[in-house]
Amino acid sequence: MPTLVWNMLLASSLANVSALEEQKIKGGNMTMAQRRFFRNRQCANNAPVGAVQILSFLMIFLGAHGYLRVGVPRTPVTVQPGSDALLRCRFSVGYRTVDLSWLVLTWRFQGYEVAKYDEDDEEEGNCNDRALIFVDELRKGNASLLLTNVTAEDSGIYTCSVVYSSYNQVKTLRLEVSGTSIQVLVPHSMIKVQSGSSVMLGCHFTIASETVDTTILLVIWTLNGTEVARYDEVMDENRILNSRANLFCENISNGNASLLLKDIRLQDSGEYMCIIMYNQERQDKKITLDVFAPTASDMERNEVTAPTASDMERNEVSENSMSQNTANALMLIPFVVISMYLQ
């Protein structure tokens, strides 16, 4: 077919399509995205409506029609509690740059909206204050979502829904929050101490987020399964069930959950457990305390004994001998002096 004839047929076809689309706009049968698409193109450069519609159709048909592509990772995104999770989602269209007026991006978690971008939506925003969309990156096709300070409750299925012009695609990906954000350390797992003394059961903890939120923190000490002390800021339960125990509540926000035991008794022996619960996560460490009573030999070493009669006699004889020797030495002094003079 000659090129001129083909061009005439194509122009006629496009004109018919343009007229049809104009009727749809006026009749209200188009979607919001489609109306926005044609409205923006009609206003560009003050061009005639028919010409703009033909150009718009050409751009859609030849460049963007069916070209929207959305991609997410195939494997689950795995992170530890307390860290940040980047849920990658990228999209491409038929143009080099993305027109944000055509774009609607929605992130959902388990079916509930987490974050959204839509220029024409006055309620656009993040439903989760820990969720962030990089608006500046949207023009580059980067629709990723950043979740900060994730917890085990953030695990599950997320959907990245991209609507561009009259086309849309939805992709799903899984986030797995595994591991623990709490680390508990005890300097000594076995302690042996004499009754009557005091002992510090050291227990320190760290949180992955570094800053300890004491409103979601629970510290419990037990002895052989029976609670000894508790710290709970929300319930205002800073309980000490042993009058000889002391939990330093003012140091807990610094990660120090140590327990001081005074005037140790034999019944204080057993297995102590330092339990740290933070945001529904739990870690614990055990300390075995062995309390022993002092033996007779220990008491003898610490006892000051009185001198016996024989000891006193030996001391008296020694003192008498020293006195006699002193007297004899004094009697010899005149003879020594005379001898030195005669020389």
Per-residue pLDDT of the chain in tens (343 residues, 90 and over written 9)? 443 333 444 444 444 444 444 444 444 444 444 444 444 444 444 444 455 455 555 554 444 444 789 999 988 999 888 889 999 999 998 766 788 999 999 999 988 999 999 988 765 555 678 999 999 999 999 999 999 988 888 999 999 999 998 889 999 999 998 877 788 999 999 999 999 999 999 999 998 766 788 888 999 999 999 999 999 987 766 778 888 999 988 899 999 999 999 999 999 999 999 999 987 788 999 999 999 998 766 666 554 444 444 444 555 444 454 445 555 555 555 544 445 544 4
Same domain, 249 and 264: yes
For the chain, report the end-to-end CA distance as a whole number of angstroms.
160
> Model confidence over 240-266: pLDDT tens digits?
888 899 998 889 999 999 999 999 999
Q: Could you tell me if residue 307 is inside a domain?
A: no
Q: Could you tell me if residue 343 is inside a domain?
A: no
Q: Which of 135, 61, 146 is nearest to 103 (CA)?
A: 135
The structural domain count of the chain equals 3
Same domain, 31 and 58: yes
Residue at which a domain ends, from 154, 177, 200: 177
d(Cα 222, Cα 256) in Å, to the nearest integer?
Answer: 16
Q: Could you tell me if residue 139 is inside a domain?
A: yes
Same domain, 59 and 73: no
Please identify which residue in the block is written with the tokens 């917890």. Answer: 151
- Give me the domain span that covers residue 138: 69-177
Same domain, 142 and 80: yes
Same domain, 52 and 7: yes
d(Cα 95, Cα 226) in Å, to the nearest integer?
Answer: 69
Q: Which of 86, 204, 214 is nearest to 154 (CA)?
A: 86
Q: Give 304's contacts (C-beta < 8 A, 6+ positions apart).
A: none
Q: Could you tell me if residue 331 is inside a domain?
A: no
d(Cα 144, Cα 135) in Å, to the nearest integer?
Answer: 10
Same domain, 218 and 186: yes
Classified as helix, coil or strand, 122 is: coil
Output the pLDDT for position 309.
45
Helix pair 49-59, 3-27: axis angle to 10 deg: 110
d(Cα 257, Cα 154) in Å, to the nearest integer?
Answer: 28
Q: Could you tell me if residue 285 is inside a domain?
A: yes
- The torsion angle over the Cα atoms of residues 302, 304, 309 and 310, rounded to 10 degrees, is 50
Classified as helix, coil or strand, 182 is: strand
Same domain, 47 and 98: no
d(Cα 73, Cα 89) in Å, to the nearest integer?
Answer: 8
Are the C-beta atoms of 147 and 154 separated by less than 8 Å? yes
Same domain, 288 and 191: yes
Q: Could you tell me if residue 324 is inside a domain?
A: no
pTM as predicted: 0.47
Same domain, 210 and 278: yes
Q: Could you tell me if residue 198 is inside a domain?
A: yes
d(Cα 64, Cα 87) in Å, to the nearest integer?
Answer: 26
Strand 77-79 and strand 167-177: the pairing is parallel
Contacts 24+ apart (CB under 8 A), 128-131: 131/107
Residue at which a domain ends, from 129, 152, 177: 177
Strand 90-92 and strand 103-109: the pairing is unpaired
Q: Could you tell me if residue 117 is inside a domain?
A: yes
Residue at which a domain ends, from 279, 294, 309: 294
Q: Which of 221, 219, 186, 191 is nearest to 204 (CA)?
A: 186
